[in-house]
Structure 1
């Protein structure tokens, strides 16, 4: 933003100090909000505080008369350390706010490409008719980070990659890839379908999970730790659409590149008419749809085409590439910008519902119990993690994020 815009924005900000534990400052907050009150606009309370303080904060809002029917509450992950603590936290919120007032924010769902995934599937017949176990071989979802734990070492060590990333971000991406078409594009219709996906995921076996820790982690933390900074797993969705199609997911820190991608690998052709044309390995490459979430959002469809010129039917791999930056030639809103705007508009489509949160913990809790006390595999900083064998056992390999 230019300096004038920034100054104008700063001029409308006001900072008040309050203690949610003791209630000090609550009356001043109430007086300030009432002085700015507009019955046509909702008050939005964003709790960027520890979940252990959510109950005290919402009680303070209620005690000072700030919980009105049009008020909205935004809360960030982590919503608990496990299923039991998540239920306890959500029960505290539910004592004060209705479910329709609670916005559980996950910034991954605010990314333009994530939203475009629903448009890609449900607005284009050519994709949705292929989006099943008749045509798709497997799905890979990678969320790779090049950073370590930085200044969050103590927090991260109490959570790890399973709780910090898989329970929310990655499982939500699985839901958007695997969900059935909703009857119409409505918050509860979409979330109903995502919930059905979570409930259809078969319990994950121990040999379907790989946990790792980058080599310098304990040095950065300053003590020994069994916390995973990397996790990969194989998921099976037990329904008619996805039976037999494995979903491989992975996430980690200190990896080779920063990228988040969904890779849909389609099945091979049932009959290869070009097998006698000397095309070799190129001819056997499958079609892939690659959905890039970050750093540069876009879509790539990998195809096999004829190489131009004489020389017969020579095939080569080619791509159809949709870069959002190049195509739309305008600044894309940040994920948080989109989600905060949706909060102001009262649109909960991209926010998790309470039963979704619980269903995700029902998947993760048994994995945490199986891994308790186990030492994660060490992996080299700058690698892509230790999970090659997870796919090799199935005769597949990871598709690493492409370079821009």
Structure 2
């Protein structure tokens, strides 16, 4: 059954002059426009503090598109017609007087309005109140919310309560851009579109699951936000737990926003709470020091920040999903900055065969592993055992070989889209399947807050690790205690 689309006629883009807008949002909207996927009548109004008019903003957008679009996507005719869609209204979300001129600029919203709202948590309440008071929160309006949606469960509830005063859940679209990645959606296709995985996709067939998101960058220009958040809040509380849920969820009946999110929410509610008594054995925190990344000498976190800090730039966690399917299977999560390579990856290690017929002939077996690489490359790889060619006079030689599905190669004729193209189009058309529901967010924060409370109770401080490494040595111990090795190849 095809998706029932309910496209809006107008898009309001807050933060329209920011870095995210320049690098992702404007190129994404242009890409959709160039491919004829936006509603023909759709207008896009940018809002930010800059004192631009429509002409100024179109010039700003043109410059950003020339800077950040791939060369093969630049088309002057398409660019010209896209810029005609753009309008601009100076807006200060902290100033109630800013909203009426904005409403006047938007005009009639009977044809539907989608609002993309990316702002500091402290401004959510005033932004929603201002939109509501000037009539930009009615039944024809939906809102997309960019993270961070709070820093813990109480602040998340505060933001969600403020949003709910004007926007019910069916018109609220919480954005996690990882859910827009093509390979992330392929997790659903891999699991629920192939019959041979399901019989072994459980505690009887899987030994452990590893999820790694490693970055080579340091603070860059995010010091103000990052030092108040840390790796646990910045990466685990959203991206990594969403990936865990897609791996662990039960099969939804339908591909729609209700069924998929129902199953993800069940996973979050099944996460075993990490307590002050278990936090030191189930988590490792770190903070990068001086070192070398790709041959370049880099400063440590404290030198970059310029002040003392106990903020973790690395975290590794041993998590459990306490339900019938996953009882006893550890989910190892690992993320950090200034690591040896940039990688987002899920590695699912299956249990070994119950008996090796090759042992008497010298053949060594390795458990099968399914690797789902999200970035920088996008591929699915199944590591299987095969016999090396030869007469076997000295014994049977077995070797692990990869069965590869390269998405770049298999779908070479299809254009690779960045995540925000899909998410913005789904916001415009009203499809919530790839957005995060309130009960998901609050269940995630409940689990994350318990970890932080455990760190506080134990006085846990991040261990230093050299830039350009895989994090503190204690992270190796986290898995090796269970006879497991991180998938670092």
- Whether TM exceeds 0.5 here: the answer is yes
Equivalence map 1:211-290=2 (5 Å): 211-215=285-289, 216-279=300-363, 283-290=364-371
- Give yes or no for contact 2:384–2:401 (8 Å, CA) kept in 1: yes
- The residue number in structure 2 matching 1:6 is 79
- The residue number in structure 1 matching 2:441 is 357
Equivalence map 1:313-392=2 (5 Å): 313-329=396-412, 330-372=414-456, 373-386=459-472, 387-392=475-480
Would you identify which runs of 4 or more consecutive aligned residues in structure 1 move more than 4 Å? none
- Equivalent-residue separation in structure 2 for 1:23 and 1:255 (angstroms): 44
User: Does residue 273 of structure 2 align to residue 185 of structure 1?
Assistant: no
CA positional deviation for 1:66: 1.5
CA positional deviation for 1:333: 1.0
> In the TM superposition, what whole-angstrom CA distance separates every residue of 1:349-378 from its partner, at most 9, and x where no partner exists?
111100111100110111111212532000
> In the TM superposition, what whole-angstrom CA distance separates every residue of 1:231-259 from its partner, at most 9, and x where no partner exists?
00000111110001000001000000001
- The residue number in structure 2 matching 1:397 is 485
Residue 318 of structure 2 aligns to a residue in which SS? strand
- Equivalent-residue separation in structure 2 for 1:374 and 1:317 (angstroms): 40
- Give yes or no for contact 2:365–2:398 (8 Å, CA) kept in 1: no
CA positional deviation for 1:309: 4.3
CA positional deviation for 1:3: 4.2
CA positional deviation for 1:339: 0.9
Root-mean-square deviation (CA, aligned residues, Å) is 1.3
CA positional deviation for 1:136: 0.4
- Equivalent-residue separation in structure 1 for 2:150 and 2:98 (angstroms): 27
Among candidates 214, 221, 240, match of residue 151 of structure 1: 221
Residue 192 of structure 1 aligns to a residue in which SS? helix
Residue 470 of structure 2 aligns to a residue in which SS? coil
Residue 369 of structure 1 aligns to a residue in which SS? helix
User: Does residue 115 of structure 2 align to residue 45 of structure 1?
Assistant: yes
- The residue number in structure 2 matching 1:305 is 386
Residue 390 of structure 1 aligns to a residue in which SS? helix
Is the deviation greater in 5-14 or in 198-207? 5-14
- Give yes or no for contact 2:383–2:402 (8 Å, CA) kept in 1: yes
- Equivalent-residue separation in structure 1 for 2:137 and 2:165 (angstroms): 11
Residue 397 of structure 1 aligns to a residue in which SS? coil
Residue 24 of structure 1 aligns to a residue in which SS? helix
- Give yes or no for contact 2:339–2:470 (8 Å, CA) kept in 1: yes
Residue 159 of structure 1 aligns to a residue in which SS? helix
Residue 143 of structure 1 aligns to a residue in which SS? strand
- Equivalent-residue separation in structure 2 for 1:113 and 1:18 (angstroms): 37
CA positional deviation for 1:82: 0.8
Residue 92 of structure 1 aligns to a residue in which SS? helix
- The residue number in structure 2 matching 1:296 is 377
- Give yes or no for contact 2:118–2:147 (8 Å, CA) kept in 1: no
TM-score norm. by structure 2 comes to: 0.79
- Give yes or no for contact 1:226–1:374 (8 Å, CA) kept in 2: no
- The residue number in structure 2 matching 1:18 is 91
- Equivalent-residue separation in structure 1 for 2:423 and 2:391 (angstroms): 53
Among candidates 92, 110, 116, match of residue 162 of structure 2: 92
CA positional deviation for 1:399: 0.6
- The residue number in structure 2 matching 1:142 is 212
- Give yes or no for contact 1:18–1:24 (8 Å, CA) kept in 2: no
- Equivalent-residue separation in structure 1 for 2:460 and 2:116 (angstroms): 37
> In the TM superposition, what whole-angstrom CA distance separates every residue of 1:253-278 from its partner, at most 9, and x where no partner exists?
00000010000000010010111222
Residue 248 of structure 1 aligns to a residue in which SS? strand
Residue 165 of structure 2 aligns to a residue in which SS? helix
- Equivalent-residue separation in structure 2 for 1:188 and 1:241 (angstroms): 22
- The residue number in structure 1 matching 2:21 is none
Residue 372 of structure 2 aligns to a residue in which SS? strand
